[in-house]
Amino acid sequence: MSHPFKEQRKLFPTLTNTIHLSSCSQSAISLPVKDAINHYLESWTENGMDWNGWMERVQDAKSEFAALINADPEEIAVLSSVSDAASAFASALSFTSDRNKVVTTDIDFPCIGHVWLSHKKRNAQVTFLPADENHTIPFESYEKAIDTNTLVTSIAHVSYYNGFKQNLKSLSSLAHSKGSFLFVDAYQSAGSVPIDVKDSNIDALVAGAQKFLLGVPGIAFMYIKKELANQLEPLTTGWFSRQNPFAFTNQILDYADGARRFDTGTPPMINAYAAHAGISLLNDIGIKPIETYLEQLSSVCIDTAQKHGLEIASPLDIQQKGSNTAIRVKNAGILEGHLKSQGIIVSARNDVLRIAPHFYNTEEEIVQTIEAIAHALITK
C-alpha cells in the first residue's frame, strides 16, 4: 500500500527514529505544533503580556474545532480536560423524579462513569451497558435501556479501550425518540473519524487535544447545541462564563449566551496555540481521507495479528472500529516498556496493548510492531 500522506509525514521528524502508534494516548509531535508553542513563548518574551493576542488564539482554536465537527464557533466552550467538560455538562442537568436515568457503557473512559456516579447525590441513576462477545455494544442494548425516564444517553464515539465505533446518528434518533439528551465523548474519534454534529443531531460533544487532534494535554473543547445552550446553567462557573467577563461585577450571575457559558476561568492559552496548529493541519488534510487510510491500516493490523495468533479485543469489522486495535496480552504495561526500548510506542490499558496509528504511520510500521509483540510473547 502506498502512503497517501508521505509529504505530511515529513512534518513529524521524530518518526525517523521511532514508530509512534499511540495516538489513542498522545500523538507524535509535529513541526507546526512545536512552532505554535514557540510563538506563544516568543510573544511572552517579546511583549511581556499580549492578553488580546493570546485570547484571539483561543478563539481561533474554538473556530478550528468548530470547523472540524461542523458547528458554529459560538457553540464551542474551552475547558481544561474532558473530565472538566463532562462535569460541567452534568452539573447543568436536573435529575427529576421522572427523568433521572443516565445510560452509559462499560467501555466508556472511566472518567465519564465517575462524573455520572457523582450525581447520584442529585438523584442520578446510572446504568452501564456491557460489551458483547464481539467487543461491541449492540444497538438492541440501547433500545432496551433507554426509556422515557432517561435524561441523558452518554456514549463514547470510539471506545478508548478497544476502538469500538458507534453510529451517532442512529443513537441520537433513539435517544431523542425517548426525550433523552445525547452526550458524546469524541476524544478517541475527533481527528480520525469525521464528525458532523448537525447531521447527527448531537446535543453535547467533548474532545481533548492530546490524542488524534495532534496537540497537548490541558485543553478540551465542548460543543453544546445552539438551541440547548441557553437553557443550561452549569454549576461549575467562573468569570469567563459571564456576559462580559471584564465587567468585574461580583454580585451578578449572568450566563453568557451560547456555549461560552461553559467557559470558566482564564483559558489554557499556550495549549490553545498547540491545539489550533494541530486541528488546522487536520482540517487542511481532511478527515475523510484520513479515516479511509486508517481503515486500511486497521485491516493490516488485524490480519497481521491473526496471522501471528494474537488475541484481538477489538471488533474485527473495520466499519465498527476506529484507529485503535487492542491486543490482549499478559503484563501489558511491561510489554509497553519493552517495545519502547526498541523505539516502538504503543499504549497499554489494563489487559490490552493498543495500537493506534494516525495518518502519518505506514503499513510497514504496523507489521513491524505486531511482529515485535508476537516475538516478545514467544520469547518471554
Ligand X SMILES: Cc1ncc(COP(=O)(O)O)c(C=O)c1O
Which residues contact ligand X (rule: CB under 6 A)? 81-83, 109, 111, 156, 160, 185, 187-188, 208, 220
Instruction: Kindly tell me which of 90 and 220 has the beta carbon lying closer to ligand X.
Output: 220
Instruction: Kindly tell me which of 99 and 278 has the beta carbon lying closer to ligand X.
Output: 278
CB of 263 to ligand X, least distance (A): 16
CB of 111 to ligand X, least distance (A): 5
CB of 216 to ligand X, least distance (A): 11
CB 77 within 8 A of CB 207: no
Instruction: Kindly tell me which of 212 and 240 has the beta carbon lying closer to ligand X.
Output: 212
Instruction: Kindly tell me which of 82 and 290 has the beta carbon lying closer to ligand X.
Output: 82
Cell numbers of 266, please? 482564564
CB of 298 to ligand X, least distance (A): 18
Q: Count of CB atoms within 10 A of residue 38's CB?
A: 11
Instruction: Kindly tell me which of 298 and 362 has the beta carbon lying closer to ligand X.
Output: 298
Phi, psi of 50 (to 5 degrees): -140, 65
CB 206 within 8 A of CB 82: yes
CB of 25 to ligand X, least distance (A): 6
285-289 own/partner pairs: CB under 8 Å, 24+ apart: 285/5, 285/8, 285/359, 287/68, 287/191, 287/192, 287/193, 287/194, 287/195, 288/194, 289/4, 289/359
H/E stretch holding 181 reads: strand 181-185
CB of 207 to ligand X, least distance (A): 8
* Owner of C-alpha cell 480520525: 192
Instruction: Kindly tell me which of 161 and 293 has the beta carbon lying closer to ligand X.
Output: 161
H/E stretch holding 375 reads: helix 363-379
